[in-house]
Amino acid sequence: MHVAQVSFFVDRARRAPQTLLREWFPLVDTAAAVASTGARVTVIQANALPGAIEHSGAAFRFVPPEPGVPLARSRAFRDLLHELSPDVLHVHGLGFPHEVRALHELAPTTPILVQDHADRAPPFWRRAAWRSGAAAASGVSFCALAQAEPFRSARLLPPHVEIFEIAELTSAFTPGDAAEARAATGLGGNPAVLSVGHLDANKDPLTVLDGVGAAVRALPGLRLWCCYAASPLLSAVEARIARDAALRGRVHLLGRVPHEKVEELMRAADLFVLGSHREGGSSSLVEALATGLTPLVTDIPSSRALTGNGAVGALWPCGDWRALGAALLRAAATLGPESRARVRAHFDAELSRPALGRKLLAAYGRLLERRAPQASAVAS
Q: What is the pLDDT of residue 380?
A: 46
Query: Could you tell me what percent of the chain has a pLDDT over 90?
Result: 86
Structure confidence by residue, pLDDT tens digits, 172-189:
999 999 999 999 999 999
| CATH class as words, domain 178-351 | alpha beta
Structure confidence by residue, pLDDT tens digits, 264-318:
999 999 999 999 999 988 899 999 999 999 999 999 999 999 999 999 999 999 9
Spell out the SS3 assignment of the chain: CEEEEEECCCCCCCCCHHHHHHHCHHHHHHHHHHHCCCCEEEEEEECCCCEEEEECCEEEEEECCCCCCCHHHCHHHHHHHHHHCCCEEEEECCCCHHHHHHHHHHCCCCCEEEECCCCCCCCHHHHHHHHHHHHHCCEEEECCHHHHHHHHHCCCCCCCCEEEECCCCCCCCCCCCHHHHHHHHCCCCCCEEEEECCCCCCCCHHHHHHHHHHHHCCCCCCEEEEECCCCCCHHHHHHHHHCCCCCCCCEEEEECCCHHHHHHHHHHCCEEEECCCCCCCCHHHHHHHHCCCEEEEECCHHHHHHCCCCCCCEEECCCCHHHHHHHHHHHHCCCCHHHHHHHHHHHHHHCCHHHHHHHHHHHHHHHHHHHHHHHHHHHC
> Is the per-residue pLDDT at 2 higher than 90?
yes
Q: What is the pLDDT of residue 289?
A: 98
Q: What is the pLDDT of residue 281?
A: 85
Q: What is the pLDDT of residue 139?
A: 96
CATH number of 2-168+355-379: 3.40.50.2000
CB 157 within 8 A of CB 148: yes
Structure confidence by residue, pLDDT tens digits, 56-93:
999 999 999 888 888 889 999 999 999 999 999 999 99
> Is the per-residue pLDDT at 378 higher than 80?
no
Q: Which residue spans of the chain are classified as CATH 3.40.50.2000?
A: 2-168+355-379, 178-351
Q: What is the pLDDT of residue 372?
A: 54
Q: What is the pLDDT of residue 70?
A: 81
Q: What band does 253 get if pLDDT is binned at 50, 70 and 90? A: very high
Q: What is the pLDDT of residue 39?
A: 97
Least confident of 241-255, 340-354, 363-377: 363-377
> Is the per-residue pLDDT at 45 higher than 70?
yes
Q: What band does 100 get if pLDDT is binned at 50, 70 and 90? A: very high
> Is the per-residue pLDDT at 374 higher than 70?
no
